[in-house]
Structure 1
Amino acid sequence: MRKLVVGTFVTMDGVMQAPGGPDEDRDGGFQHGGWLVPYIDEKFGEVMSEWTRHADVFLFGRKTYEMFAGSWPKSTDPVEPLNTRPKFVASRTLHKVNWNNSILLKGDVAQEVVKLKAQEGGEIQVHGSGNLIQTLLQHNLVDTLRIWQFPVVLGTGKRLFEGGTIPCSFRLVDTQLNTTGAVLHVYERAGGLKYGEVEVGQETVIFDSESSHHTGDGERETQ
Structure 2
Amino acid sequence: MGKLIVTAFTTLDGVMQAPGGPGEDVDEGFEHGGWQVPYTDQDFMRLMKDLFEHSADHLLLGRRTYDIFASYWPRITDENNPIAVKLNTMPKYVASRTRDSLDWHNSHLLKGEAAESVAVLKERLDGVIMTQGSSDLIRTLQRHDLVDGYRLIVNPVIIGTGKRLFAEGAAPTAWTLTESRATSTGVQYCAYERAGKPEYGSFLLDEEA
- TM category, shorter: over 0.9
Q: Percent identity?
A: 49
Q: Which of 121, 124, 127 lines up with 2:129 in the alignment?
A: 124
Q: Check the 8 A contact 2:97/2:112 in 1, yes or no.
A: no
1:76 aligns with 2:55: no
What stretches of structure 2 of length at least 5 have no aligned partner? none
More helix by share: 2
User: Does residue 153 of structure 1 match 2:158?
Assistant: yes
Residue number in structure 2 paired with 1:34: 34
Residues 136, 142 of structure 1: 8 Å contact kept: yes
Off by >4 Å, runs of 4+ in structure 1:
none
In the superposition, the TM-score normalised over structure 1's length comes to 0.87
Q: Which has the higher contact order (CA 8 A, sep 6+)?
A: 2
1:209 match: none
Q: Secondary structure at the match of 1:196?
A: coil
Gaps of 5+ in 1: 203-223
AA paired with 1:59? L
Which has more strand, going by share of residues? Answer: 1
CA distance in 2, matches of 1:183, 1:106: 35
Match of residue 112 from structure 1? 117
2: CA distance between counterparts of 1:161 and 1:94? 26
Q: What per-residue deviation string (whole Å, max 9, x for no partner) do you get for residues 124-176 of structure 1?
A: 01001111100111111111100011111111111000121111111111111
Q: RMSD value over aligned CA atoms?
A: 1.2
Give the greater-gyration-radius structure (CA): 1
Task: Tell me how far apart the structure 2 counterparts of residues 18 and 97 of structure 1 sit (CA, whole Å).
Answer: 22
CA–CA distance in 2 between the matches of 1:112 and 1:77?
34
- Report the Cα distance in structure 2 between the residues aligned to 1:107 and 1:36, rounded to whole angstroms: 33
Q: Name the stretch that deviates more: 168-177 or 106-115.
A: 106-115
Q: Does 1:49 align with 2:49?
A: yes
Q: Distance in 2 between matches of 1:142 and 1:110?
A: 11
Aligned residue pairs, count: 201
- The offset of 1:120, in angstroms, is 4.4
- TM-score, normalising length: structure 2: 0.92
Distance 2:115 2:73 in 1: 27
Q: The residue matched to 2:64 in structure 1 has which SS?
A: helix
